[in-house]
A and B are shown apart, each in its own frame.
Chain A
Amino acid sequence: MSDPVSWLLGLSAFLLFSIVIGHVLVALLLIVPTWRICQRAGFSGALALFHLVPVIGPFIVMGVLAFSDWPNGEAGAQRAPAGR
């Protein structure tokens, strides 16, 4: 039987590793569609990487998409490329 302290350290390291991997996997499920949404809106797709930031990351991405003007145009105010 090994030292219980090192056993606990190993267990906590494993748990931490599992949490990080799980977070990255969930973030990937959000990053892929958000990357495309950002690109269609005219922003850099890399903006979607904010999903990697725990808790507030998705709010940052949504805030940028919701409260800034889309470079590729928005419904209603759009038609700029052809509107003349």
Chain B
Amino acid sequence: MGAEIAALMGFFGITGAFALIGTVLAGWMAWRIVEKAGLPGWTGLGSILLSLTAIGAIVPLILLWIFAYMRWPRDEPAPAAPGYAPSAGSGPSPSPRPAGPAALPPPPAALADGRGWRLAGPLGNGGTVSLSVVGGSAAYVLTSTAAAGPGELIVPDSSVGQPHARLMTAGSRLGLEDLGSPGGTYIDGARLLPEHGPRDISAARVIRLGSVELALTRA
């Protein structure tokens, strides 16, 4: 009888040791994951430790769902560049965004810069595309649809969404906002997400819409 008890104790000892190691490891990883999302690390560790309490696994499971669908601090829009006010009604908006700071007028002493912008590059079918964006204050929707309406710029490629992104001009600056197309939008190789809102691309060199790379130059 003593041998059986000793064997049982050994079994539960090993099981307990694995459970302890697993809990510590899970807590550590949860700490790192929530920190990468911009939340304090102790929230991740706490949710793992909750599974040790009488609440069981239900509350951590609920917290996992909340974490997946909540707004992460990482995705909070950075302070918007002055001069950009997302245009209303010139295309679908993927998600409601809190109102940013009001657009500032250009400095009174600034010289007017009437130059526009040019986006040009090869298409996947061997052709090329060249888009001209006039300066001033306007918004354009980049799309692959064949029948372009007013304010739409066509990039005829299957990897480009309908619509794909929005271009905004404000004075001598150019902004770009991703509209959530699956092909993705990249600024000099860095992914632009809809959560990032409009970004200043005045100094960018290459814009990628899906698989189409467009060189950005001043017209």
Chain A min CB distance to B202 (Å)? 9
Q: In the complex the two chains form, what is the Cα distance from A38 to B196 in whole Å?
A: 18
Q: Is B187 an interface residue (CB 8 A)?
A: yes
The reply to whether B193 and A81 contact each other, CB–CB distance below 8 Å, is: yes
Measured between beta carbons, the chain B residues less than 8 angstroms from A29 are 61
When C-beta atoms are compared, the residue in chain A nearest to B26 turns out to be A62
Chain A contact residue count (CB 8 A cutoff): 31
Could you tell me which residues of chain A, from 23 to 60, have a CB within 8 Å of some CB in chain B? Answer: 29-30, 32-34, 36-37, 40-42, 58-59
Residues 72-104 of chain B: 1 if any A CB is under 8 Å from the residue's CB, otherwise 0? 111100100000000000000000000000000
Q: Is B200 an interface residue (CB 8 A)?
A: yes
Q: With A72-B191, A79-B78 in contact, is A84–B64 under 8 Å at CB?
A: no
Where chain B touches its partner, the secondary structure class is helix
Measured between beta carbons, the chain B residues less than 8 angstroms from A22 are none
Interface-located stretch among B28-36, B127-135, B153-161: B28-36
The reply to whether B199 and A82 contact each other, CB–CB distance below 8 Å, is: yes
The reply to whether A62 and B193 contact each other, CB–CB distance below 8 Å, is: no
Measured between beta carbons, the chain A residues less than 8 angstroms from B29 are 59, 62-63, 65-67
Q: With A74-B74, A75-B36 in contact, is A81–B191 under 8 Å at CB?
A: yes
Measured between beta carbons, the chain A residues less than 8 angstroms from B196 are 81-82
When C-beta atoms are compared, the residue in chain A nearest to B81 turns out to be A82
Chain B contact residue count (CB 8 A cutoff): 35
Chain B min CB distance to A53 (Å)? 14
The reply to whether A34 and B64 contact each other, CB–CB distance below 8 Å, is: yes
Measured between beta carbons, the chain B residues less than 8 angstroms from A34 are 64, 68
Could you tell me which residues of chain B, from 8 to 36, have a CB within 8 Å of some CB in chain A? Answer: 22, 25-26, 28-30, 32-33, 35-36
The reply to whether A41 and B36 contact each other, CB–CB distance below 8 Å, is: yes
Measured between beta carbons, the chain A residues less than 8 angstroms from B190 are 80-83
Q: With A30-B64, A33-B64, A63-B29 in contact, is A81–B72 under 8 Å at CB?
A: no
Q: Is A18 an interface residue (CB 8 A)?
A: no
When C-beta atoms are compared, the residue in chain B nearest to A70 turns out to be B36
Q: Is B209 an interface residue (CB 8 A)?
A: no
Measured between beta carbons, the chain A residues less than 8 angstroms from B72 are 40, 75
List 3 A-B pairs, minimum CB-CB distance, nearest first.
A75-B38, A33-B68, A66-B29
